[in-house]
Structure 1
């Protein structure tokens, strides 16, 4: 350990760092509450869209559309949802680790997939790995992200899927469980599972003794073609909201741990400072007593 002055400077610097991490913890806690409210407000829209699609398909089980028809995967588009900034613990690294493991297991060459990066960290990761990117520029995942922020990339991968240039779209993101737990998920948003859409269709209109009959204009297949891309975009937006809540929770946990570690370090440094001060006092007393004895 250094001199008393060096120890005191380290204590002062660590206290400043502790104040910063504590402030970041409080900011992340506030943003987490807003993100949780956004998730709760958005869920009814997703549920309504799913119900609408289920009604159209239930009306005519023979209806077909590429988005609900699975085909052998020859080329896959992977959407990686990350943050724009760091200091969030393992939030970004866990997504990249899960994606690397998935690629090693299911792909022999990088030509069989394309990466769409949402967030600066995901964009940098894909660039370092040399993956083919769907987007040429960074798409920032802001705290108040809206549909317009990623509209361009959704149009691109939906167009590629409908034209047959890709056969599957999978999203890697952190699903928010609670403040302590965030789980990496890999969910397929295209093609949609037709059976899953129809699973609860019998309960949709089970509100009375009469069964509702819907008539669609101009035609059910036209309505379905309009609804299915909306469902895909809304599913992706819901996953981004989950990822934002997970990011704030991870950063809040990381900043709390950093603050606690700073407090422990300050405690140790003060102990070393007091010991060094006591040693200095002992040396001074020894010199004074020695000088007095020499004079006598």
Structure 2
């Protein structure tokens, strides 16, 4: 009985130490979540303005000849199978609940539906996704690890520069950004947004998102030229889309981590209560046994 009591007591001590760790990790994730949410609020205004400009350029038909002039024409796309690429955003670490598995599962379903058995490429932001698709034997043509807890615009600019360079070189014909959109601290939803080329589908995808689009006139007098305006606006649009997706994904990651650690702490509390009850019952049983033995001994001596 003594060994059993010591074993239970050891498990209680061990579980309490685990609870201290999960409590600390929950607080860290919560702090990161609060920080990135403040950052996202200031970014949303910029993103809204950029999306507004691109949407209204589309309404003014300034974008109509864009894909033909870039070498990715609609006629070419119809005459051959499109080579698709998917920029999939996951975390670099574990302890984030179901976050990574949700992104990968939903992305796989989207890829299966969109590409089927056709060739496609994976562009992985985050080590978890990169490791998964490499292990599965997929073509991971680009990976970026170590995104900051609150990503900077310069980090994303590196990613966008590489991705657009791959597109311009003809390594793929279209690119989708796949990530978990933050709804609230308990809910996130998968999104797959078309990033390249900036065509009707990409514009419709941008228009359907939650960022408020500012009302603007659809009529433009373009100075000095349409091409020079597009050369400035479209790279900013691409950076804005990817940066927004990574910010959104990181927000979901921190929320998922906080929720997972809270759940682990709650489970630890339940286990500690159960073990303490088990310990007290075993201790009472041991005391009762000792009293019975003493009483029995006294009765034997009295006879």
Q: TM-score range by the shorter chain?
A: 0.7 to 0.9
Question: In the TM superposition, what is the alpha-carbon distance from 1:216 to its structure 2 partner?
Answer: 1.3
Q: Secondary structure at the match of 1:140?
A: coil
* 1:54 to 1:107, Cα distance in 2 relative to 1, 3 A: closer
Q: Secondary structure at the match of 1:3?
A: helix
Q: Is the 8 A contact 1:139 1:149 kept in 2?
A: no
Partners of 1:85 and 1:57 in 2: how far apart? 40
Partners of 1:282 and 1:198 in 2: how far apart? 74
* TM-score between the two structures when normalised by the length of structure 1: 0.87
Deviates more, 1:141-150 or 1:283-292: 141-150
Q: Give the structure 1 partner of residue 5 of structure 2.
A: 4
Partners of 1:273 and 1:229 in 2: how far apart? 65
Q: Give the structure 1 partner of residue 85 of structure 2.
A: 77
Question: In the TM superposition, what is the alpha-carbon distance from 1:186 to its structure 2 partner?
Answer: 1.1
In the alignment, does 2:128 pair up with 1:127?
A: no
Question: In the TM superposition, what is the alpha-carbon distance from 1:170 to its structure 2 partner?
Answer: 0.6
In the alignment, does 2:122 pair up with 1:115?
A: yes
Partners of 1:55 and 1:100 in 2: how far apart? 33
* 1:58 to 1:175, Cα distance in 2 relative to 1, 3 A: closer
Deviations 1:96-154 (CA, angstroms, capped at 9, x unpaired): 11122233334344x6111111111111111111111122x542221132233244442
Q: Give the structure 1 partner of residue 14 of structure 2.
A: 13
* TM-score between the two structures when normalised by the length of structure 2: 0.85
Q: Is the 8 A contact 2:156 2:239 kept in 1?
A: no
CA RMSD of aligned residues (A): 2.8
Runs of 4+ in structure 1 displaced over 6 angstroms?
Answer: 197-202
Q: How do 1:158-237 and structure 2 match up within 5 A? A: 158-194=164-200, 196=204, 203-205=215-217, 214-217=221-224, 219-237=225-243
Q: Is the 8 A contact 1:95 1:184 kept in 2?
A: yes
Partners of 1:188 and 1:155 in 2: how far apart? 17
Q: Secondary structure at the match of 1:203?
A: coil
Q: Give the structure 1 partner of residue 271 of structure 2.
A: 265
- Any stretches of 5+ residues in structure 2 without a counterpart? none
Which residue among 90, 96, 103 is the counterpart of 1:88?
Answer: 96
Deviations 1:52-111 (CA, angstroms, capped at 9, x unpaired): 3355556664752127965445211111101111111110000111122233334344x6
Between the two proteins, the alignment pairs up a number of residues equal to: 288
* 1:132 to 1:152, Cα distance in 2 relative to 1, 3 A: farther
Q: Secondary structure at the match of 1:185?
A: strand
Q: How do 1:239-254 and structure 2 match up within 5 A? A: 239-254=245-260
Q: Is the 8 A contact 2:58 2:64 kept in 1?
A: yes
* 1:280 to 1:76, Cα distance in 2 relative to 1, 3 A: same
Q: Give the structure 2 partner of residue 209 of structure 1.
A: none
Q: Secondary structure at the match of 1:86?
A: coil
Partners of 2:237 and 2:294 in 1: how far apart? 85
